[in-house]
Amino acid sequence: MIQYEQLHHVGLNVTDLAKAKEFYEKVLCLPEIARPPFDFEGAWYAAGSQQIHLLVLPESQTIRRDPSLSSREGHLALRVKSYQETLDWLKKHNVDVLEKPNSVSGFAQIFLADPDGNLIELHVERP
């Protein structure tokens, strides 16, 4: 039997590190953290007690080529404090979003994509 403690990180492939870093730092407001000196480009970010690792691999098979937003494609989800403040912030930064404030999941959800099409869900638990 495997006993888990927590999800530690999610690794996402990106093609342009500068563009990805601008998005994760300026739009998603995630703090960059130290990364070991690997022999390939990338960046690590703290997301609460978990991490997001960006891995530069332009030929990755996991990079989505279709820019459309979907809540059914593979994605990572981050809990935010305020649905409306998050939505306002994203719109201020001209980020395309898929709003699902009344999702049957029990979360008020906002779906968006990073510059390489990696899908991200930002949500708050609905009372």
N-terminal to C-terminal alpha carbon distance within the chain: 35
Whole-number pLDDT of residue 9: 97
Q: pTM of the predicted model, to two decimals?
A: 0.93
d(CA 57, CA 62): 10
**The CA-based dihedral angle spanning residues 9, 76, 81, 124, taken in that order and rounded to the nearest 10 degrees:** -140
Whole-number pLDDT of residue 83: 96
Q: What is the mean pLDDT of each run of 10 residues along the chain (127 residues)?
A: 93 97 98 97 97 96 88 94 97 97 95 96 91
Whole-number pLDDT of residue 64: 87
* Overall residue count recorded for the chain in this entry: 127
